[in-house]
Protein backbone atom coordinates (compact mmCIF):
# COMPACT_ATOMS: atom_id res chain seq x y z
CA UNK A 1 0.00 0.00 0.00
CA UNK A 2 2.85 2.38 0.87
CA UNK A 3 4.46 1.80 -2.51
CA UNK A 4 1.23 2.55 -4.36
CA UNK A 5 0.62 5.76 -2.39
CA UNK A 6 4.24 6.84 -2.82
CA UNK A 7 4.05 6.27 -6.59
CA UNK A 8 0.79 8.21 -6.84
CA UNK A 9 2.22 11.08 -4.80
CA UNK A 10 5.27 11.33 -7.08
CA UNK A 11 3.28 11.13 -10.31
CA UNK A 12 3.88 14.17 -12.52
CA UNK A 13 1.04 16.24 -14.02
CA UNK A 14 1.07 18.86 -16.75
CA UNK A 15 -0.94 21.86 -15.55
CA UNK A 16 -1.45 24.82 -17.92
CA UNK A 17 -0.76 27.40 -15.17
CA UNK A 18 2.73 26.02 -14.54
CA UNK A 19 5.68 25.88 -16.89
CA UNK A 20 7.00 22.56 -15.60
CA UNK A 21 5.10 19.40 -14.58
CA UNK A 22 4.23 19.16 -10.88
CA UNK A 23 3.64 16.22 -8.56
CA UNK A 24 0.32 15.04 -7.17
CA UNK A 25 1.47 16.16 -3.71
CA UNK A 26 2.10 19.69 -5.01
CA UNK A 27 -1.36 19.75 -6.60
CA UNK A 28 -2.98 18.65 -3.35
CA UNK A 29 -1.04 21.18 -1.27
CA UNK A 30 -2.01 23.91 -3.73
CA UNK A 31 -5.69 22.97 -3.43
CA UNK A 32 -5.35 22.90 0.36
CA UNK A 33 -3.88 26.42 0.24
CA UNK A 34 -6.77 27.67 -1.89
CA UNK A 35 -9.31 26.16 0.51
CA UNK A 36 -7.55 27.76 3.48
CA UNK A 37 -7.60 31.16 1.77
CA UNK A 38 -11.33 30.75 1.16
CA UNK A 39 -11.85 30.17 4.89
CA UNK A 40 -12.45 26.42 4.92
CA UNK A 41 -12.10 25.45 8.60
CA UNK A 42 -11.51 21.74 7.90
CA UNK A 43 -8.66 22.59 5.51
CA UNK A 44 -7.19 24.97 8.09
CA UNK A 45 -7.28 22.36 10.87
CA UNK A 46 -5.87 19.62 8.64
CA UNK A 47 -3.02 21.73 7.34
CA UNK A 48 -2.16 23.01 10.81
CA UNK A 49 -1.92 19.45 12.17
CA UNK A 50 -0.06 18.25 9.05
CA UNK A 51 2.55 21.02 9.00
CA UNK A 52 3.03 20.88 12.79
CA UNK A 53 4.92 17.63 12.19
CA UNK A 54 7.57 19.54 10.26
CA UNK A 55 8.12 22.37 12.73
CA UNK A 56 11.48 22.53 14.49
CA UNK A 57 11.62 20.93 17.91
CA UNK A 58 12.13 23.34 20.79
CA UNK A 59 15.42 22.78 22.59
CA UNK A 60 17.95 24.59 24.73
CA UNK A 61 20.58 24.25 22.00
CA UNK A 62 21.20 27.58 20.31
CA UNK A 63 22.25 28.38 16.81
CA UNK A 64 22.86 31.14 14.31
CA UNK A 65 20.73 32.41 11.50
CA UNK A 66 22.84 33.74 8.64
CA UNK A 67 21.13 36.34 6.48
CA UNK A 68 22.54 38.25 3.51
CA UNK A 69 21.75 41.72 4.84
CA UNK A 70 19.91 43.46 7.61
CA UNK A 71 16.95 45.61 6.64
CA UNK A 72 14.65 47.86 8.58
CA UNK A 73 11.00 46.88 8.89
CA UNK A 74 10.07 49.71 6.54
CA UNK A 75 12.52 48.51 3.89
CA UNK A 76 11.18 44.95 4.14
CA UNK A 77 7.60 46.18 3.79
CA UNK A 78 8.52 48.35 0.81
CA UNK A 79 10.31 45.46 -0.90
CA UNK A 80 7.38 43.09 -0.31
CA UNK A 81 4.88 45.65 -1.60
CA UNK A 82 6.89 45.94 -4.83
CA UNK A 83 7.13 42.17 -5.15
CA UNK A 84 3.39 41.78 -4.50
CA UNK A 85 2.67 43.96 -7.51
CA UNK A 86 4.45 41.39 -9.70
CA UNK A 87 2.84 38.31 -8.15
CA UNK A 88 -0.25 36.61 -9.50
CA UNK A 89 -2.58 34.09 -7.92
CA UNK A 90 -1.66 30.70 -9.46
CA UNK A 91 -5.26 29.51 -9.04
CA UNK A 92 -6.44 32.11 -11.55
CA UNK A 93 -6.56 31.06 -15.19
CA UNK A 94 -4.74 33.25 -17.67
CA UNK A 95 -7.05 34.46 -20.46
What's the CA angle centered on 42, arms 93 and 80, to 5 degrees? 50
Phi and psi of 87, rounded to 5°? Answer: -80, 150
Q: What is the mean pLDDT of residues 17-34?
A: 89
Flag the least confident range among 27-31, 35-39, 50-54. 50-54
* Alpha helices for 1-95 (secondary structure H): 2-10, 24-37, 41-52, 73-86
Q: With the CA atoms of 58, 61, 65 and 66 taken in that order, what torsion angle do they form, in degrees rounded to the nearest 10?
A: -150
pLDDT at 69 over 80: no
pLDDT of the residue at 85: 85
pLDDT at 95 over 60: no
Residue 73 CB contacts under 8 Å (≥ 6 apart), including other chains:
none
Amino acid sequence: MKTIVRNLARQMHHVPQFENPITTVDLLLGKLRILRLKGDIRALKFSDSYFARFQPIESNVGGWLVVPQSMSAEAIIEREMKLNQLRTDPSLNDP
